[in-house]
Structure 1
Amino acid sequence: MSNIIRLLPDHVANQIAAGEVVQRPASVVKELIENAVDAGATEIKLIVKEAGKTLIQVIDNGKGMSDIDSRMAFERHATSKITMAEDLFALRTKGFRGEALASIAAIAHVELKTCEAGADLGTHLIIEGSKLVSQEEAVLIKGTSFSIKNLFFNIPARRNFLKSDTVEFRHVVDEFERVALAHPNVHFILLHNGSEMFNLPESNLRQRIVNVFGPKTNEKLVPIKETTEIVSIEGFVGKPEFAKKSRGEQFFFVNDRFIKSAYLHHAVLNAFEGLLKEGTHPSYFLYLTLPADAIDINIHPTKTEVKFDDEQALYAILRAAIKHSLGQFNVAPVLDFQRDSTMDTPYEFLDKKAETPTIEVDMNYNPFKEDSVSMKQAYNPFEHNQTSYVSGSRSSSNSSKGDSFLSKSPFESSRREQIESTNNMYEDLRSSANELDFSKIEIEEDVKEISLFDGALDDISTSKSFQLQRKYIVSPIKTGMVVIDQGRAHQRILYEKFLENITIKQAASQQLLFPLTLYYSAYEIQLLRDSESALKLTGFVFDSIDKEQLVISGLPVHVAESEASIVLDELIQELQGSPSETSFSMNDRIAKSLAHSLSVKTGTVLSEEEQENMVNALFACKDPSISPFLKPTFITMKVDDIEKRFTL
């Protein structure tokens, strides 16, 4: 195989933006994984230790490199992706700067093992701080293995600048997920400190999303598919009811490259207008395919921002495609004044074929034919009392019998018996009513008349506290009054309570009748596993924590079963971010997150007893004046200050 890596001319290299800046371990992960994809690998394994500070290893089964290419890869401005400036506007590959590996080799210990397909021997190369330590032939399998050890070993100031392992590993996972979502046809594996975090086999796009973010994601997805002359759009958006407070699951891919675009993001939000709750953000996984010469991806060093030739048309097409899918799958309402919803086919009968009814006809039936037998057996009440009529008058011999029949008709006698029975019933009721003694019966009054102003002043004077605007608690004191922010006060109370449970004594737990199963991504499960011991002390009881789900059998007394997922979601969001300046430990962050999630919010109506309990609990805290987030919990107003307001 001929050598393909060469030095770029200076005028071409100068047209390329500044070199890749290695800010953190995630920058190295991004470069190495993208190079593996460009090498045609079908299986890529990422091994990370201590969030990449100690080791970052990427192993792929791509086409490998020759001994000369393996050495040239670490030279500045050396690449196999482009040869002239015009190639910058027709790129289909990922990394193309040609200086990222040189930057990595300058600040770390690099070990490269690579072998081309069909070659008997491969190349084993070691570089430390841009210095070539050794390069020799070795027996290797096809593919390439990059090992980056001791990142920033010669720049201690940059190493000290790195965040905690949790935060740095979150950035590593972000880069891993972006490349994995862009290439569902590649098998990706991620190992961290010896534990397998992701194992994503080759699959379709929907299955890849579900494998990354957990099985519960499948029911949240609404498919998007639109093809025009300008752009082809494919992917999924999340249903509005599953919108989150964070912006985690939002991905744009242009020609299989992850990008960030505030302009396209606004188009998505516009399509969801009127469907989202305030403060929530939709999830989306959108893949845009455009001609390579219609975009410019060389406007940002990290290549996450691009420039489109026709942004307005792209905005309109994306917005319309999302709106169409939301309406098509009955997620968003559709205005159709000619449509009668009662005529819609039920969902369970949508694909069923109509069945022809079977009709049986009695060909011998004749409605005009009389049944002689039944007619003869029909009852005639006058059959046994018939009289003979001669010339229109009755016979005298039967006249007395006829009179007797008319006066003693069975129908008439039955009617008289009913009337007599009814009269007797009412007579019994009258007699029993006369015997009742109403003097001993007490009647409860349902309506009480209350004066609007009587006693009102007395109630206010005896009341210890009252609620203002469903946000503040006003309580009198000797020198005036104190106004308490109920939300911040409750945060302080819960915060100290949870800290006490974690550090001193375990809190009580309420057992669930049926275990609660919650689903999360592999990284979120790892965060919960890391904080499992502290959560148990606050009252959580976990039956199991598996790779994609956790089973809860007990909750803290303050947490309802319907709130469990919300509390844990906010805790995960807090643990993913950088610790604030006010947090000094993992236990402190957990206590603050739980206190923030479970505290009463503005608009909550508190009874007088609840107000008094909150006031007493607040001033029983060690530091009642500020919330866990360093905001004041109450203010005081003295009588003198109030009197000054009335002084002219």
Structure 2
Amino acid sequence: MSSVIQLLPDHVANQIAAGEVVQRPASVVKELLENAVDAKATDIKLIVKDAGRSLIQVIDNGLGMNVIDARMCFERHATSKIRHAEDLFSLYTKGFRGEALASIAAIAHVELKTKQEQDELGTHIIIEGSKFISQDPSVLPKGTSFAVKNLFFNIPARRNFLKSETVEHRHIVDEFQRVALAHPTIHFTFIHNGGELFNLPSSNLRQRIVNLFAGKTNEKLVPISEETEIVKVQGFVSKPEFSKKNRNEQFFFVNNRYIKSGYLHHAVMAAYEGLLKDGMQPGYFIYLDVPPNTIDINIHPTKTEIKFDDEHSLYAILRSTVKHSLGQFNVAPVLDFERDPNLDTPYHYQEKDASVPLIQVDSNFNPFAQDKPTKSFSGSGFRERKTETTNWESLYIGLKNDTQEIEQITFEHDAVTSSLFNDNEIEDSKNRTYQIHKKYIVSSIKSGMMVIDQQRAHQRILYEQYLKNITIQQASSQHLLFPLELFFSVNEIELIRDLKMSLESTGFVFDTIENDKITISGIPVSVTESEVAIVLEELMNDLQNGIPDSSFSLNDSIAKSMGRSLAVRTGTFLTEKEQENIVNGLFACKEPDISPFNKPTFITISVDDLDKKFAI
């Protein structure tokens, strides 16, 4: 009987490993950038085409590799970062698995150019799907150039599962930002489709953050700093008024390695307690330095999660550090126990004596006297006033005769009918709608009753309205009296440039689009001026995250996002007229039964179903 278990060929094993290491083009960008940082480069350039599908190239001026290392780096489990198992607990470098380059070479066309400073010639290697095509000496500058072309060319199923170019580009930008934020002293350049997206010179941390996110980033940063035996905390947090609904500006770094930690995020949110509106997220750039032997970074394939030895202490230190900084810079309310006594009394009255009011008493006053004079207080003294009380009976003369002459009053009354409601009220009640718990609209129909989800119904109405406006390019716009200026990051400005034509079809009018801000002079009729920034932020966040599903056209995604942002929320009170408009608008749609996100907009309950509920 033949053996069932066999060793996998190297190229198959590499493709399987690539499924874990290389999930999307951003994974390649992360591995190549971290290798360049580990090579002690001071200048790193990232070149990307078609969101990484066609080309991902990283050029650095680092140490470079000799001929043997250039060939060995593509072998599985080949690394220069560790020698013994104990080295896993004292890592100061980025990569250490030794599978990244082998996995990348198994699913792409790879071209490597590298040269060390002391060598006269460098090495030029071409690999296609783990197969070495050529290896030649070449005249090259110091450093390494790693070009990855046609990613997933031999795994079409993986290539088909990639998201839209907008989503994949956003993931690449995220990885670039994480590496750039971890190393502000390195000069980074990012070129996408021939255009320079980022040019980050060597600088301090605050300047690096401002260069990456532009806009009003500098004025919203609050520095934090704390040093203990357990951890050293440094970085910046944002002021509460600059909070957003997304988490695009939240970064944790442990020993200059980007990590994700819901536990530490909860500590930061606890420090902001009472300062943020519901659903808003603060921005933060927090750097933790801990002894390498107190953390384990080998618990997750992507190395973005870390296990700490003493998480509870880290939580308490981080929370108190952020809360202290917010209070120190007068961002959070604080109690001031050092009261200035000069504020108790007005300045001009400090040397004046208090005036004692004078009280005068009339010792001859007799309340039981018949003709008693009455006193009225005026100013600082009394004024006498006599009241005529004689012949008081004359006030009531003639009242007896008047009371006898009472006119008879007749009252109008409606005739009592046998019907509780009149015909008009009955006719009106047939088309009347009712709102339940500020969430559902109930309307009667011939077979029973219909319950409509007000939020989903309004989403469907707005979605079809915006999709029609974008398609025919005839949207109505309201002109603003004063142009509106909005500030965004460099990456968001590039996305707005790509969406400009589609947004103008919905009713937006753009005056200028600069490197860090846009000027809007017209907005759609259904959008208020205060909602513009929220609508654009949610739109860009949806498109960058692939939510809603962007399997259709870009215009479809824009219509879905704007419909979701501007629809009435659950918990909003609607007048009877607004309820009728939603009902009528819903059934004027082409597909009234589902929302843009394939969820039911209404249900019907028949009379028979109601009868069954009351059956004994």
Equivalent in the alignment of 1:554: 522
Partner of 1:226: 226
Is the CA contact 2:76–2:99 (under 8 Å) kept in the aligned structure 1?
yes
* Paired residues of 1:582 and 1:629 also in contact (CA < 8 A): no
The residue aligned with 2:479 is 511
> Is 1:570–2:538 an aligned residue pair?
yes
Find the counterpart in structure 1 of residue 576 from structure 2: 608
Q: Distance in 2 between matches of 1:502 and 1:295?
A: 52
Q: CA deviation at 1:456?
A: 11
Aligned with 1:618 (options 586, 609, 615): 586
Report the 3-state secondary structure (helix = DSSP H, G, I; strand = E; otherwise coil) of the residue aligned with 1:247.
Answer: coil
Quote the sequence identity (%): 68
User: Cα deviations across residues 10-42 of structure 1 (Å, max 9, x unaligned)?
Assistant: xxxxxxxx8862222111111110111111111
Query: Is 2:462 the partner of 1:494?
Result: yes
Aligned mates of 1:579, 1:623 — CA distance in 2: 21
Which string of whole-angstrom CA distances, capped at 9 and with x for unpartnered residues, describes residues 84-137 of structure 1? 222222111111222311221222211111122243322222222222222222
Shift of residue 581, structure 1, vs aligned partner: 5.2
Q: Residue 496 of structure 2: SS of its match in structure 1?
A: helix
The CA distance in 2 between the partners of 1:52 and 1:92, in whole Å, is: 28
| Greater shift in the superposed pair: 224-233 or 262-271 | 262-271
Q: 1:341 to 1:320 in 2, by over 3 A?
A: farther
Question: 2:302 aligns to what?
Answer: 302
Task: Single out whichever of 109-118 and 576-585 deviates more from structure 2.
Answer: 576-585
1:76-87 matches, cutoff 5 A: 76-87=76-87
CA distance in 2, matches of 1:342, 1:158: 73
Q: Do the aligned residues in 2 keep the contact of 1:115 with 1:141 (CA within 8 Å)?
A: yes
Does residue 534 of the first structure (1) align with residue 502 of the second (2)? Answer: yes
TM-score by structure 1 length? 0.76
1:300-351 CA deviation, whole Å, 9 max, x = no partner? 2222112222222111111111111111122222245x3548979xxxxxxx
Where 1:588 maps in the other structure, the secondary structure is helix
Give the match's secondary structure for 1:576.
helix
Partner SS state of residue 216, structure 2: helix
Q: Are the aligned partners of 2:108 and 2:151 in contact in 1 as well (CA < 8 Å)?
A: yes
Output the CA distance in 1 between the equivalents of 2:342 and 2:70: 69
Partner of 2:245: 245
SS of the counterpart of 2:157? helix
Distance 1:116 1:633, change over 3 A: same
> Structure 1 residues 606, 117: CA separation in 2 closer, same or farther (over 3 Å shift)?
same
> Cα 1:65–1:509, aligned 2, differ >3 Å: closer, same or farther?
same
Q: Which residue of 2 aligns with 1:470?
A: 438
State the partner residue of 2:155: 155
In the TM superposition, 1:251-290 aligns within 5 A as 251-290=251-290
Counterpart in 2 of 1:184?
Answer: 184
- Seen in structure 2, the aligned counterparts of structure 1 residues 307 and 481 have a Cα distance that, compared at 3 Å, is closer
Deviations 1:365-401 (A, max 9, x none): xxxxxxxxxxxxxxxxxxxxxxxxxxxxxxxxxxxxx
Residue 480 and residue 108 in structure 1: after superposition, are their counterparts in 2 closer, same or farther (change >3 A)?
Answer: closer
Amino acid at match of 2:503: L
The 5 Å alignment of 1:413-428 reads none
How many equivalent residue pairs? Answer: 520
Letter matched to residue 29 of structure 1: V
**Aligned partner letter, 1:562:** S
Instruction: Report what 2:6 is aligned to.
Output: none
CA deviation after TM superposition for structure 1 residue 221, in Å: 1.8
Further displaced range: 305-314 or 475-484:
475-484
CA distance in 2, matches of 1:320, 1:482: 53
Deviations 1:273-300 (A, max 9, x none): 2322222222211001112222222222
Unaligned runs of 5+ in 2: 1-16, 344-418
112-121 or 165-174, larger mean C-alpha shift: 112-121
The one-letter amino acid paired with 1:509 is S
Deviation, 1:67, is: 2.1
- Counterpart Cα distance in 2 of 1:122 and 1:335: 66
Contact 2:549 2:557 in 1 (8 A): no
Opposite residue 308 of structure 1, the aligned amino acid is F
The Cα of 1:235 is off from its aligned counterpart by: 0.6
The corresponding residue for 1:173 is 173
SS of match in other structure, 1:78: coil
Corresponding residue of 1:101: 101
Secondary structure of the residue aligned to 1:514 is: strand
**Paired position in structure 2 for 1:122:** 122
Structure 1: any 5+ residue segments left out of the alignment? 1-17, 345-454
**For 1:562-595, what per-residue CA distance to the aligned partner results, in whole angstroms no more than 9, with x for missing partners?**
1100000110111012255585221111111111
Q: Aligned equivalents of 1:471 and 1:583: distance in 2?
A: 30
**For the residues of structure 2 that align with 1:323 and 1:23, how far apart are their CA atoms?**
38
Does the CA contact (< 8 Å) of 1:527 and 1:575 recur in 2? no
1:33 aligned onto 2:1: no
Let me know the Cα RMSD of the aligned residues: 2.4
Task: Spell out, residue by residue over 1:235-290, the C-alpha distance to the aligned partner (whole angstroms, 9 max, x if none).
Answer: 11122233222222211101111111222122222222232222222221100111
Q: 1:132–1:557: structure 2 CA closer, same or farther, 3 Å change rule?
A: same
Which amino acid in structure 1 is aligned with residue 518 of structure 2?
L
Contact 2:54 2:150 in 1 (8 A): yes
Counterpart secondary structure, 2:313: helix
User: Structure 1 residues 623 and 127, CA, compared in 2 at 3 Å: closer, same or farther?
Assistant: closer
Whether the 8 Å contact between 2:64 and 2:142 is mirrored in structure 1 is yes
- Where 2:111 maps in the other structure, the secondary structure is strand
